[in-house]
C-alpha cells in the first residue's frame, strides 16, 4: 500500500502546471517527497483548455500518477472529493495546482498525522512565511478567516489554506458527509471533523503568490460566506453514511479479532478502499463512506457469508448518529490504516 496520495484539483491550469511541477520536483530532489511511496493525482475539473493533456505530459515520469478528468466544471470541493474517492493510500493530501504552498512542507503534514486525524497548513503561524505584493487580497483572506472562526467556533487560524492532509479513512468519511462543491468545502470539512471528535493540527507553510489564479477575492469570498451561513443553519446537510455492523456470536471471536476480519473482507470486496471501521464494546461497524450502493450490497453479502454465525445488520447513519459513537479519533484506529508513528 502506498503511504500518500496527493490530490491536485485543476481548472484551466494548463499555463501554470509546469511551474507548479518544478516546485514539486524540487521537493522530491530535496527528499521531502518519496516518489516510491507517493501517488500524484491531478483532477481536471472540466477545464476548457489543455489542462488534462499538459498534466499527462508532466506526470509521465512519476512512478505512481493518474490524471482524472471530470466531465464538466463542478468546483474545487467536487474535484478534491473525486481524488479522495480514488485514493488507496494510508494518507491523502491535497494542494493547489500552482503549488503556491511549497511542497517541502509535506513532511510536516505527515508528521502531524502521526498523532492527529487532520493536518492543515496555516499561513498565520509564527514560523510561516507569506510572500505577496497584493495587500488587499491578503487582508480579505484574513478577514474571511476571522469571520469563519467567529461563525463556526472552529478555533483555527487559517481554514482556507489549500494544503491539507488526512488519514484516508477519515477523508472518505468527511468528504462523504460534505456536499459543498465550491471553495467553502474546506470550512465544512473542518466543522464536520470537530463535530465527530476528530483532532486537527496546524503546521507552518511557505506561501508565495502565483500569478494567474482563477479565484476572485470578492466574488468567491461572498460565495464562501453564503455557503458557511447556509451550513450553520442546517441547510446543507450531507447524505447519511451506509453502515454494516457485525456483532460476535455468543462465545465467538473477540471484537478486536472481528475488526481485523471485517477490514480484510472489505479490502478484498471494495478493491482496497480504506473505509473506516469502528470497533466498540458491542461489535464492529464498517462505515461505507463513498462506496457505490451496489458495492455496499456486495460487501454486506460477503460479510454475511464469511462471518457467520456473527450477527450482521445494515443501516444508514446521519452525522448525529455517527456522533453518538463518541469521539471517533480513538474508535477509528480499528481500521488498521494508522501506523503507530513515523
pLDDT recorded at residue 337: 43
Residue 44 has pLDDT above 50, yes or no: yes
End-to-end CA distance of the chain: 16
168-177 vs 76-86: helix crossing angle, rounded to 10: 140
- Give the integer Cα–Cα distance in Å for 20 and 5: 17
- Give the integer Cα–Cα distance in Å for 226 and 288: 30
Span 89-110, pLDDT tens digits: 999 999 999 999 999 999 999 9
Residue 341 has pLDDT above 50, yes or no: no
More confident residue, 150 or 13: 13
- Give the integer Cα–Cα distance in Å for 161 and 333: 27
CB-neighbour burial class of residue 62 (10 A; exposed 0-12, middle 13-18, buried 19+): middle
**What number of residues does the chain have?**
342
Q: Which residues of 145-161 are buried (b: 16+ CB within 10 A; e: fewer)?
A: beebbeebebebbbbbb
Cell of 109: 503534514
Name the strand (E) or helix (H) holding 10.
Answer: strand 4-10
Q: Which residues contact 250 (CB under 8 A, 6 or more apart)?
A: none
Residue 334 has pLDDT above 50, yes or no: no
State whether residue 188 is helix, strand or coil. Answer: helix
Greatest alpha-carbon span in the chain: 68
More confident residue, 108 or 210: 108
Cell of 254: 473477540
More confident residue, 133 or 331: 331
pLDDT recorded at residue 253: 82
Q: Which residues contact 297 (CB under 8 A, 6 or more apart)?
A: none
The residue with cell 467556533 is 153
pLDDT recorded at residue 225: 65
Which domains, from first to last, does the chain contain?
4-232 (3.90.550.10), 241-335 (3.30.70)
Q: Can you give the pTM of this predicted structure?
A: 0.89
pLDDT recorded at residue 9: 97
Residue 136 has pLDDT above 60, yes or no: no
E strands present in the chain: 4-10, 38-44, 65-69, 91-95, 118-122, 129-131, 163-167, 200-204, 206-208, 241-247, 277-279, 284-287, 311-317
Q: Which residues contact 135 (CB under 8 A, 6 or more apart)?
A: none
Predicted confidence band of residue 335 (pLDDT cuts 50, 70, 90): very low
CB of 200 closer than 8 Å to CB of 116? yes
Predicted confidence band of residue 150 (pLDDT cuts 50, 70, 90): low
More confident residue, 82 or 1: 82
Phi, psi torsion values for 193, nearest 5 degrees: -60, -45
Cell of 336: 488498521
pLDDT recorded at residue 280: 85
Span 177-199, pLDDT tens digits: 998 887 678 888 998 999 999 99
* Pairing verdict, β 118-122 and 200-204: parallel
pLDDT recorded at residue 123: 87
Residue 139 has pLDDT above 80, yes or no: no
Dihedral over Cα of 133, 96, 235, 232: its sign: negative
HSE-up of residue 242 (Cα within 13 Å, Cβ side): 15
Cell of 221: 469570498
Amino acid at each position: 500500500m502506498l503511504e500518500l496520495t496527493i490530490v491536485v484539483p485543476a481548472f484551466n491550469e494548463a499555463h501554470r502546471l509546469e511551474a507548479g511541477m518544478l516546485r514539486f520536483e524540487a521537493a522530491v530532489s530535496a527528499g521531502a517527497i518519496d516518489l516510491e511511496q507517493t501517488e500524484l493525482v491531478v483532477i481536471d475539473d472540466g477545464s476548457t483548455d489543455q489542462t488534462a493533456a499538459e498534466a499527462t505530459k508532466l506526470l509521465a515520469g512519476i512512478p505512481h500518477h493518474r490524471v482524472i478528468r471530470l466531465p464538466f466544471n463542478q468546483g474545487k470541493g467536487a474535484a478534491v472529493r473525486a481524488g479522495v474517492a480514488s485514493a488507496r493510500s494510508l494518507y491523502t493530501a491535497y494542494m493547489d495546482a500552482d503549488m503556491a504552498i511549497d511542497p517541502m512542507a509535506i513532511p510536516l503534514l505527515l508528521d502531524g498525522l502521526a498523532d492527529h486525524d487532520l493536518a492543515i497548513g496555516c499561513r498565520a503561524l509564527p514560523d510561516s512565511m507569506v510572500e505577496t505584493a497584493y495587500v488587499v487580497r491578503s487582508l480579505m483572506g484574513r478577514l474571511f478567516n476571522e469571520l469563519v472562526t467567529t461563525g463556526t467556533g472552529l478555533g483555527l487560524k487559517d481554514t482556507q489554506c489549500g494544503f491539507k492532509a488526512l488519514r484516508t479513512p477519515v477523508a472518505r468519511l468527511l468528504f462523504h458527509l460534505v456536499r459543498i462543491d465550491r471553495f467553502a468545502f474546506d470550512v465544512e470539512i473542518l466543522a464536520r471533523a470537530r463535530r465527530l471528535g476528530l483532532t486537527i493540527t496546524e503546521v507552518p507553510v511557505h506561501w508565495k503568490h502565483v500569478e494567474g489564479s482563477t479565484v476572485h477575492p470578492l466574488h468567491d469570498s461572498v460565495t464562501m460566506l453564503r455557503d458557511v451561513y447556509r451550513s450553520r443553519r442546517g441547510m446543507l446537510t450531507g447524505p447519511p453514511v451506509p453502515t454494516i455492523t457485525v456483532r460476535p456470536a455468543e462465545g465467538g471471536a473477540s471484537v478486536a479479532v472481528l475488526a481485523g476480519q471485517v477490514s480484510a473482507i472489505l479490502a478484498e470486496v471494495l478493491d482496497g478502499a480504506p473505509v473506516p471501521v469502528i470497533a466498540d464494546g458491542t461489535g464492529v461497524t464498517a462505515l461505507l463512506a463513498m462506496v457505490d450502493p451496489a458495492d455496499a450490497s456486495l460487501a454486506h453479502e460477503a460479510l454475511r457469508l464469511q462471518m457467520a454465525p456473527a450477527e450482521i445488520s445494515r443501516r444508514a447513519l446521519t452525522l448525529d448518529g455517527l456522533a453518538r459513537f463518541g469521539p471517533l479519533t480513538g474508535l477509528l484506529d480499528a481500521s488498521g490504516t494508522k501506523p503507530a508513528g513515523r
